[in-house]
Chains A and B, each alone.
Chain A
Amino acid sequence: MSSAFRLPPSAAPRFLAKPTFFKATMAIVQKDLAAEFRSRELLSAMLVFSMLVILIFNFALELDIKVRQSVTAGVLWTTFAFAGTLGLNRSMAVEKDRGCLDGLLLAPVDRSAIFFGKAISNLAFMLIVEAIVLPLYALLYNEVRIFQPAFLGVILLGSIGYIAVGTLLSAMSVQTRTRDVLLPILLFPVAIPVLLASVKASGGLLNNATFAEILAPLNLLIVYDIVFIAVAFMVFDFVVEE
């Protein structure tokens, strides 16, 4: 505050001017990443949880080489979806608890910049978790086909769609009485197309399907991503307004 007063009069308006959309978005991303790299609360919780889910699947489904052929994609996506809700819940609850969200809403920036900021940092967390879980899975089960670029592309597209809807719904669920319980119940039925299309596409890639064979789920994945990013962008205002 005081530094603003010490600026020459000509510089003041520029300093106080509304930041650009991109700058505002990046500021929120930077804030979230900085907070996370100091506390490491969210990432460690998501990672430990992912490992536990894979451990449980290992014994529940008896992941021998024949079973893995058909269920690897499903196991991975279930793990990511569960870990994802954990992260989404936490990332929005942190904003709500100490009134940070109110602070963000008071900032003279476009509300959708807040949405994109939160969504990008949530996506970053999810991708970091995936970047650790996938090699670990590959190591544990000797599954090197995971590292083909098309497979990673599908993972990225799926994560984008999942996080877009998830960020919007987590902003809603933290404002309800049953917040922690509500997010997966709201998110999973709406996110089913993303999860199923991703499983279909990535499962096809692991079983050496041709590109033409996975084109249909891939198209739907892209359609879902575009539709839901656009809708979330349009309705986020209604979710956070007081």
Chain B
Amino acid sequence: MQSKPIVLSILDVVSIIVLGVAAYLALVFAPTELVMGDVQRVFYFHVGTAWVGLLGFILAAIAGIAYLATKDMKWDRFEVAAVEVSTMFFFITIVLGSIWARPVWNTWWTWDPRLTTAAVTELIYIAYFMLRQGIEDPEKRARFGAVYTLLGGLSAPITFMVIRLFRTIHPVVIGSQSAEAEGGFSMTTDMRAAFFFSLFAFTIIFIDLIWHRIRLGRLQDKVEELKLNLSL
């Protein structure tokens, strides 16, 4: 069995450090927002996790296409890793968003385009795991998984556009119309520092987790192979 690569061990330590620093920046360093108060601090991790969640789903769809084109199992392992890690991060995003929305929007949940799209995306990838669970042949599982991430990746943006026709109250902090939406605000320099650092921190953590998951996938395949050899 190959031992854990040294770079990965270093990345583990770096991940923990950047998470600590990001937490410090978000909770202590960044100034308190005037209207919303301390609950606005949720924003830094909310956007950080949402960013890597989204990144993972896009990477998964690309990995799906790469798998269908090459039939190389490494793409399948990458795809599963990306979807698994992103599903978790997206869940954290939704929970953090709810915590923020309760005092600011006066509700835990509303059927806003972003919220709905996040929920639907989450459901698509839960369905993805259920699909994979129902297939024994690893090659077929990889093929179906790739097709489904592709469909999911295509339908999510259309879902977003469709629900935008219904209604929206989600603030857009990055961009121009920041103050218009309910709970919008503009960032000060210190806020911006905390914000960009948390994006950076979550990207590092994301890479670290994906790497671990790919390694785990490789070991899983090896165990399967050994079991098969034993039974023969």
Contacts and interface: CB of A to CB of B under 8 A. Distances in A.
B158 interface: yes
B135 A231 contact: no
Interface in B157-171: 158-159, 161-163, 165-166
Interface string B114-135: 0000001001100100110111
B150 A235 contact: yes
B128 to A, nearest CB: 9
A168 B152 CA distance: 13
Interface residues of B, number: 29
B158 A182 contact: no
Given A235-B150, A238-B147, A182 B131 contact: yes
A238 B146 contact: yes
B36 interface: no
Contact of B124 (A172, A173, A190, A197): A190
Interface SS majority for chain B = helix
A190 B157 CA distance: 11
A100 B15 CA distance: 53
B188 to A, nearest CB: 37
A178 B133 CA distance: 9
Interface stretch (A11-19, A85-93, A215-223): A215-223
Contact of B162 (A168, A185, A220, A231): A220
A177 B141 CA distance: 12
Interface in A162-193: 165, 168-169, 172-173, 175-179, 182, 185-186, 189-193
B147 A172 contact: yes
Contacts of B147: 168, 172, 235, 238-239
B68 interface: yes
Nearest to B117: A192
A116 interface: no
Given A182-B130, A186-B127, A190-B155, A175 B162 contact: no
Given A165-B151, A172-B148, A189 B134 contact: no
Interface in A111-149: none
A185 B150 contact: no
Contact of A192 (B120, B133, B134): B120
Nearest to B123: A189
A127 to B, nearest CB: 23
Nearest to A196: B162
B130 A178 contact: yes
Given A178-B130, A197-B162, A220-B158, A186 B148 contact: yes
A128 to B, nearest CB: 27
B181 to A, nearest CB: 20
B109 interface: no
Nearest to A187: B127
What interface size band does chain A fall in? 20 to 34
B151 A177 contact: no
Given A190-B124, A200-B165, A228 B154 contact: yes
Interface string B155-192: 10011011101100000000000000000000000000
B135 A193 contact: no
Nearest to B132: A176
Nearest to B122: A189
A196 B116 CA distance: 12
Contacts of A197: 162, 165
Nearest to B161: A220
B127 A239 contact: no
A77 interface: no
B143 interface: yes
Query: Which of A173, A186, A197, A239 has its CB near the most chain B CB atoms (within 10 A)?
Result: A186
Given A165-B151, A238-B68, A177 B135 contact: yes
B144 interface: yes
Given A172-B147, A193-B155, A197-B165, 16 more contacts: A175-B135, A175-B144, A179-B134, A189-B120, A189-B127, A192-B120, A192-B162, A193-B159, A217-B162, A217-B165, A220-B158, A223-B158, A224-B158, A228-B154, A231-B151, A238-B143
Top 7 closest pairs, chain A to chain B, by CB: A176-B134, A193-B158, A177-B134, A189-B124, A189-B123, A178-B134, A190-B155
Interface of B: 68, 120, 123-124, 127, 130-131, 133-136, 140, 143-144, 146-148, 150-152, 154-155, 158-159, 161-163, 165-166
